[in-house]
Amino acid sequence: MRKYYLLFWGLIFWMLSTVLQAQTHVRYLQNQTPTYAEMIQFYEDVSSRYADAKWMKVGLTDSGFPLHILVLDKKQRFDPENHPEQVVLLINNGIHPGEPCGIDASMHWVYETLTNNLLSENLIVVIIPAYNVGGMLQRNRVSRANQNGPEEYGFRGNAQNLDLNRDFIKCDAQNTQAFYEVFRTWKPHVFVDTHTSNGADYQHVFTLLSTQKDKIHPALGDYMRDRLEPYIYQHMQEKGFPVIPYVNSIDQIPDRGIKAYMDYPRYSTGYAALFNTMGFTSEAHMFKSFRERVLATKAFIQILVEYMKTNGSELEDLKKTVNALTADGLTFPIDWKWNDTLTVPVKYMGYEASFSPSRITGHPRFFTIATNPLPTAFNSTTDTT
């Protein structure tokens, strides 16, 4: 009888924990993002349930709490020194915890992938669930007041009030030292840093900032431009999230185009590029609903995973080749200039712009008329040496 009693309560406990876990990874559907403690609990739960997942501590952050990673490896080796014929995707979330769509997108993606046994043997996915732990702990409702949800979120600065996405060279934060450890240990083939945008308005839910292709090795730059990016753009379009490069407008209205973003190594993708890793900063649009932003970011992660599963050996060969060429290099350019004569056309779905006098200053104030979608095409410039 006692055996059945234990079994009964064990079943109840399992059902309850399953329900709670389910709530955490889809909290974004209610315009909410988990607290730090809830997120940690979620990852501890999934890693204890699934042998393909390992939850690890990797150094400290300025908050005094450790930095964690979740490693997904269907071969269950979890060994950065020994993973032949496997490529590595590294996803960094919550560097700006006020922009948490990647935190939620990764949780839901992990849950779906593990419960449906969708991992592939040739791909290791390493996830930093929340990089800026101190910022995530400073939960508030006001530091991104013009962002459309979630109801509460973390703060941009870390425990030292540093912007961690400007710290990858000066390395003032313990978070950055821990990141070096993760990055240099796992040597990812592709790196993603998830964000939410900070200003411009347009119809797209999702924008993408790729590593500046002219400042990385030509073989890597060409591959990104000709293979990986077209795949991402095509599949995001098919999933209902047409992508535009990050809207870094030349003028206030982007009629003259978007200026390519120069990701110096102080930024995460610029740092990744120093190691011949293709980097992407995803920027979901701050005015779209939190739900849409999370779903777009999750779709992006899934698309990258599919690409890496299918093209793993090609990515591995490319990285080896470019690493060897870099090792043999004698000179390395480190200074760059914007060339506004090189342009590529992009399809931009904007809104009609208008200017009205400000009631305070009397000067013209810029508005977009969101009810007037204006599909337009224009040229985007590209940086070069």
User: Under the rule (CB under 5 A), what is the footprint of Zn ion?
Assistant: 96, 99, 195
For the residues of 157-221, what is the DSSP string, one character each? Answer: S-TT---GGG-TTT--SHHHHHHHHHHHHH--SEEEEEEE--S---S-SEEEEEPPGGGS-HHHH
Q: How far is the CB of 262 from Zn ion (least distance, A)?
A: 16
Q: How far is the CB of 192 from Zn ion (least distance, A)?
A: 13
Q: How far is the CB of 96 from Zn ion (least distance, A)?
A: 4
Return the bridge partners of 318, or none.
none
120 or 282: CB nearest Zn ion: 282
245 or 312: CB nearest Zn ion: 245
96 or 288: CB nearest Zn ion: 96
284 or 315: CB nearest Zn ion: 284
| Residue carrying the six token digits 């305070």 | 360
Q: How far is the CB of 193 from Zn ion (least distance, A)?
A: 8
For the residues of 101-124, what is the DSSP string, one character each? Answer: HHHHHHHHHHHHHHHTT---TTEE
The identity of residue 382, as a single letter, is T
114 or 209: CB nearest Zn ion: 209
Q: How far is the CB of 105 from Zn ion (least distance, A)?
A: 14
Q: How far is the CB of 137 from Zn ion (least distance, A)?
A: 18
SS3 content of the chain, % helix, strand, coil (to 5): 40, 25, 40
Cis before residue 254, ω within 30 degrees of 0? Answer: no
Residue 53 tokens read as: 């997942």
- Please state, in angstroms and rounded to a whole number, the distance separating the CA atoms of residues 367 and 93: 31
- Please state, in angstroms and rounded to a whole number, the distance separating the CA atoms of residues 243 and 207: 5
- Please state, in angstroms and rounded to a whole number, the distance separating the CA atoms of residues 66 and 285: 30
